[in-house]
Structure 1
């Protein structure tokens, strides 16, 4: 049997967040929280009638409003208008009237089942979207790895060709050095003979 949905609320960044979910764990997953905000005291279950009504109207969908405001929760929200800090902000916050305490709205069994079914539908939709994103990321990672492997192979081939060319040049240079040495030896011998002949002719 599907668990009854509850409404959970937290604040992350510039927004207050709310979601209707069957458990704290499901709420954390919906918020994409990397740590347990409930244990840290940054999240809690709420029975605020307006928040409960908004969250139950879109089970599993993360709703938001500007942080610290008492506005209506919705799928899309503007940034907070007042991002100031310090004494002025504290004074404005203390002047803000507190909403009157109201009881949580009564939710019929039929509405609860409908909300739970919608939560499961939204949960499955998010799972499908997540798997699609993971598949796209895996495909992109494979494409990038193939491109890297291709570029590395081209670099390796070019280096091997360069090394072979360099080796051939070094071999040719060694051969030329040997020829130059041989030519120097041959010349020294011939020059010595020619100079001896020249000396004899002068005598």
Structure 2
């Protein structure tokens, strides 16, 4: 069963924007608003009138009526979509992405170098330990012979 439609409206002072939808969050989404217009008192629920009828005739679509510009004209509007990042912002994003890639590659290379150095140190440690054990064993044997 489809949810019952309610009609919500808000005005920027020049136009009234009305939409028929099932909830306040969906109305805010249809208007493209990132702030809660209901909490600030800018938006409210409608219960009748020309805007109410026009919104119910096209559920989910924003109906715009001029208040100070195109007074009384009622029409459907499309929500404004972001055109994406500007050229400068895109260049900055590309530059930062390249720097991040370079950082990752440098880090991988540094870690590989450290791993190789650690392996070499481990091999040297084993050699030193083996020399120590061999020399100690020989000295211990010589000490026993000297005491006997």
Q: Higher helix proportion, which one? A: 1
Greater Rg by CA? 1
Q: Higher strand proportion, which one? A: 2
